[in-house]
Structure 1
Amino acid sequence: MKVVSLVPSITETLFDLGLTTDEIIGRTKFCVHPKEVADKVEIIGGTKNLNIEKIKSLKPDLIIANKEENIKEQVEELMKDFKVLLTNIETLEDNYYLIKQLGHIFNKEEKAQFFNLKTYEAFDIQKPEKKLKVAYLIWKNPYMTIGGDTFISRILEELGFENLFKNEKRYPEVQLEDLKEADLIFLSSEPFPFKEKHIEEIQEVCKNPKIMIVDGEAFSWYGSHLAKCGNYYRDLLEIFK
């Protein structure tokens, strides 16, 4: 089966399940894991600016898209000519069924079960005794955070944190003054590449909260990626014991 993946975390999952570059024939420029094989796959644009004609020229048997990461109109255009699997991952349970579904489609049930078990183990860790309020920033100029209806917020909750903006929707803009009630401020390494210098800028306004850069992929990439984050989560939570 010839597959075009429009979702970075799903591209990684397909390779982890055992698919090869003979089967995965198209990916976005953000599909970078695992690098040694992803680099060999044809790039068909970005997640939100797909090269529709290039995808058509590849003549895939299946295109895998995501409700949040891809543009609705572009996915609908592809649906006119191709079979499209449209995914929507909001919770760990959704993630479990995604991996199980992909395992079934590609006859990789055993590998799928392995990654689901490893994901369960990754979150089977001791949580902080106190539920710390976290402001998780994903963007600068303007500063943007995550609402309670996002996958990132669900991962925070699974790790025993409380999203300071859990009552907001999607990705609201915030002012630094809005972060003062947080116990912790997490600066994500993606999509905006926060650096150490940004910690100093934010600390000038938010005097008390602990501010740290976190691995954005560990909070936002679903699929098999979560199964590899167990040690990262353990090390992170160890700081707050």
Structure 2
Amino acid sequence: MSRFLLIITLILLSFNAFSAERVVILAPAAGDIIHKLGAESKIVGVTKNLEGFPAAAEVGSHLKPNIEIIKSLRPDLIIAGSGKYFTDEIKAAIGVRTYIYDPSNLAEILLALRDLGKEFGKAEVADTVEKSLKTQISGLKKPACRINVFFEVSQIPLMSAGTDSIVSDIVTRAGGYMSVKESKKVFKTGIETVITGKPDIYIYQIGPMNKNPMPPQSRNEYRSLKAEYVRVDETEFSRANTNAFENVRFLNNIFNNHCSNR
């Protein structure tokens, strides 16, 4: 029995030995999961728009990471977003193991949570967090009426969230329907398209992509719309992370209240 326990102990120690210890985050949305895992102390570098890691060095933006700074931090893991920006050339130049974090729905967020839990040696913590997140979206009430939703990513140019975005999955799970559909994460659209879609709920975000929009209810071009307007924080709503689960419940409440007040 003692030999068996010794073998198990050695196996567990070997797993911990390979857990990430010096990590650079180039996918801002992943920062939330790192906090949930309690692995902040292992982060040595972050992008300039990612807060909550005071001990980490700034390594540029997720669009233009500073390769020299990243290499100087001697990371053993990089958490990057879409390969569109973290190209094979950048990957080769840095020469460090990479995890691509680019979920577009809640199921993929949970998968990334499990993956990163293993990477940081926090598998049990990840399991606990996953159960909590699933509880958040259990028992939702289906809206009693159809809710068409338009999501404004930016006012100028007018851009909307597509069906491949986390926003689309949040809206769908909350019981709504995207009023303008395109198989992209974000796409340009027009005022006439918005009006033709007759949204019941018009959601607009405030943040880096939509810094100072005029409230849509005050815009002359939307005078014919009979929509309820909802303002959200871009960093809390449009980043694919654990906040998405809370946002599903948030929108579900709004949708149900809208149906009740019709």
Distance 2:245 2:188 in 1: 31
The answer on whether the counterparts of 2:106 and 2:245 sit within 8 Å (CA) in structure 1 is no
Partner of 1:17: 37
Partner of 2:17: none
The answer on whether the counterparts of 2:237 and 2:243 sit within 8 Å (CA) in structure 1 is no
Q: Which runs of 5+ in 1 are unaligned?
A: none
Change in CA separation of 1:236 and 1:202 when aligned onto 2, cut-off 3 Å: farther
Give the stretch that moved more between structures: 88-97 or 202-211: 202-211
Partner of 1:177: 192
Partner of 2:206: 189
Alignment pair present for 1:132 and 2:147: yes
Please give the TM-score of this superposition, normalised by the length of structure 2: 0.79
The amino acid that maps onto 1:223 is N
Partner of 1:101: 115
Change in CA separation of 1:222 and 1:188 when aligned onto 2, cut-off 3 Å: same
Distance 1:16 1:220 in 2: 18
Q: CA RMSD in A?
A: 2.4
SS in 1 for 2:62: coil
The answer on whether the counterparts of 1:184 and 1:209 sit within 8 Å (CA) in structure 2 is yes
Change in CA separation of 1:20 and 1:182 when aligned onto 2, cut-off 3 Å: closer
Match of 2:175 among 160, 170, 185: 160
Change in CA separation of 1:116 and 1:226 when aligned onto 2, cut-off 3 Å: farther
Q: CA deviation at 1:153?
A: 0.8
Q: CA deviation at 1:202?
A: 5.8
Change in CA separation of 1:112 and 1:227 when aligned onto 2, cut-off 3 Å: farther
For residues 187-226 of structure 1, give each alpha carbon's deviation from its aligned partner in whole angstroms, at most 9, with x where no partner exists.
1123313556443116644432222212334432233333
Q: CA deviation at 1:168?
A: 4.4
Match of 2:104 among 76, 90, 109: 90
Identical amino acids, percent of aligned pairs? 21
Which of 1 and 2 has greater Rg? 2
Partner of 1:142: 157
The answer on whether the counterparts of 2:216 and 2:222 sit within 8 Å (CA) in structure 1 is no
